[in-house]
Structure 1
Amino acid sequence: MARVAKAVATFLCVVMAGVALAQDTARYRVDVTFNWTAADDLDAHWSRLIAFAHSSRYSLFRDGETASSGLALVATNGRVSVLEAELAEGRRRGRVGEHVVLPGVASPGAFSFELMLDETLSRVSFATMLAPSPDWFSGASGVQLRAEDIWRDQVTVVLWPWDAGADSGPNYTGPNVETQPRQSVRLLTHPDFLTADGLAPIGQASFTRLP
């Protein structure tokens, strides 16, 4: 009888450990949709999109802060290699998890990808350049998908146009004019994005927890 009780207890421990493990990790599908259309340029497109999971100790961008070299290069010419190197350093410090890079798409257009998260790397960020602009980009920074130890089933965020502060080109198709010293990241209030009601969002991202 004692052996049976011990076996049952062991089985329950294994089951509970499996439940805890399942709760500590989650996989999400992220669907990104951009609806912006250039009025006079048929070549409007979004560069490669780079996305990754990370902790609260890593930030891709914040309004009023200076862009990293990696983000600045994504925003000015769509290059992701330097940002990938920054993510590798963040991963070494335990602040960054899985990352993906997707091919660019026309605008309007859409991206879709999946990421695995865990209880310490429970945020998602991504960025893509609006090309061929000076340094305009869009994305999301630090979307929290775990609250009070519970994974959120569905999260939707609005996407805005941003200026990386690295290029002072006057308009969407204008020449590149490197900004020195580099300015801070800020919402893009260029006339191309303003309406009678003010700055308009240019898309949205939906985060869906997978079974």
Structure 2
Amino acid sequence: MKKITFLFLFSLLALVSFGQSTATYQITFESTWSQATHPHSSGNLPSSAHWSRLVGATHNDNVSFYTVGETATTGVENIAEQGSNTAFFSEVNTAISNGNSNQSINGPALGTAAGQIVIDQVTTTEDYPLLTLLSMIAPSPDWMIAIDGVSLLDTNGEWKQSIVLDVYPLDAGTDSGSDYTSANSDTNPKAPIADARGTAPFSSEKIGTMTIELSNILGTNNIDDKVTVSVFPNPFTDKITIQTNAIQLKNIEIYNVLGARVMNITRNISNQTSIDTSNLNSGVYLLRATDTKNNITTKKLIKR
């Protein structure tokens, strides 16, 4: 088995909402894709059988990134056909800007047909309790696995301890190829996303299992109520100002939507600090401010 872990720094956005608990989950996709479970007409799976990165988002019910029975977005099409996530992350960024998502998830890939993909420390709040994940069945014309808006909260509003889902192949409806290595043949117009179980080359067996396990729950009382950190203007263009009403900050970090740190400031920080952001591209960012008592405040930023 292959176990790969990935820490999502951007999930710190979950700590922004006061008055809510935050929950951290570990996600494990166990692939059972094999010649035995999904016999292929040629007698063998492709020698290059693998999975693209397991990607997704946590979000609310005002947005859905795919739905079986509806046509695929460009982002979903690119994942299913190419294992390319750029357009999908752009769709997530739009949802973040509209207040309907709090993070994108950029998990690892798996270089074999069978094995594990493990994503550690996906953290979210009660405002964004839904989880969507997708990965390409590769190689293929437009086949994928996905879970659509699975709620991490139960009917009583409590965080679920464990969720286990059988996963079956899906046809994105964007390519008419009938075999793993079929030449590109665009479906025009697109067909709806459909369950592909029992349709060659797949059997009616599941292709894997998605297990979502609760790791930790935190309240918001770990942040000193007397400490207020504000950022303005937001949205911004070339400069932002960070202001705190009490304890001095010792570290200011800015991360992009994929979790990469793009700025780290540890010197010349006062109770009102201006930062030149002219070198940042337009988009959504996370500011993480740490004060001298090690309280951490996070803010979502939007650069125009």
- Fold shared by both chains (TM-score > 0.5): yes
User: Counterpart in 1 of 2:34?
Assistant: 37
173 and 167 in structure 1: CA distance in 2 versus 1, 3 angstrom threshold: same
2:197 pairs with 1:200: no
Name the CA distance, whole Å, in 2 between partners of 1:74 and 1:93: 23
Runs of 4+ in 1 over 4 A off after TM superposition: none
In the TM superposition, residue 200 of structure 1 has moved relative to its aligned partner by 1.5
- Give CA-to-partner distance per residue, 1:84-141, whole Å, 9 cap, x none: 0000000011111222213321111221113111111001111010111000000211
Q: Is contact 2:21-2:126 (8 Å) kept? A: yes
- Flag the structure with higher helix content: 1
- Give CA-to-partner distance per residue, 1:42-85, whole Å, 9 cap, x none: 21111122122111122122221111110010000000000000
180 and 109 in structure 1: CA distance in 2 versus 1, 3 angstrom threshold: same
1:130 to 98, 121, 137: 137
| Aligned positions, number | 188
The equivalences for 1:63-78 within 5 A come to: 63-78=68-83
2:167 pairs with 1:162: no
Decide which moves more: 88-97 or 102-111.
Answer: 102-111
State the superposition RMSD in angstroms.
1.7
Decide which moves more: 49-58 or 95-104.
Answer: 95-104
User: Counterpart in 1 of 2:152?
Assistant: 145
Give the aligned residue type for 1:186. A
Give the aligned residue type for 2:83. G
User: Counterpart in 1 of 2:185?
Assistant: 177
Name the CA distance, whole Å, in 1 between partners of 2:133 and 2:84: 14
Give the aligned residue type for 1:151. W
Query: How high is the sequence identity, in percent, across the aligned residues?
Result: 27
Name the CA distance, whole Å, in 1 between partners of 2:31 and 2:185: 26
Name the CA distance, whole Å, in 2 between partners of 1:28 and 1:58: 21
In the TM superposition, residue 23 of structure 1 has moved relative to its aligned partner by 5.6
Decide which moves more: 170-179 or 38-47.
Answer: 38-47
Q: Is contact 1:52-1:115 (8 Å) kept? A: no
Q: Is contact 1:54-1:124 (8 Å) kept? A: yes
- Give CA-to-partner distance per residue, 1:14-63, whole Å, 9 cap, x none: xxxxxxx6862111111111110252422111112212211112212222
- Give CA-to-partner distance per residue, 1:137-189, whole Å, 9 cap, x none: 00211111112221111111111100000100121121110111111000114
Q: Is contact 1:99-1:115 (8 Å) kept? A: no
For structure 2, the residue ranges without an aligned partner over 5 or more in a row are 1-17, 36-43, 217-304
Give the aligned residue type for 1:109. G
Name the CA distance, whole Å, in 2 between partners of 1:71 and 1:163: 11
Q: Is contact 1:37-1:44 (8 Å) kept? A: no
User: Counterpart in 2 of 1:3?
Assistant: none
User: Counterpart in 1 of 2:118?
Assistant: 112
Give the aligned residue type for 1:29. Q
User: Counterpart in 1 of 2:96?
Assistant: 91
Please give the secondary structure, in 2, of the residue aligned with 1:204: strand
TM-score under structure 1 normalisation?
0.84
Name the CA distance, whole Å, in 1 between partners of 2:61 and 2:117: 24
TM-score under structure 2 normalisation?
0.59
Name the CA distance, whole Å, in 2 between partners of 1:177 and 1:47: 21
Name the CA distance, whole Å, in 2 between partners of 1:182 and 1:53: 27
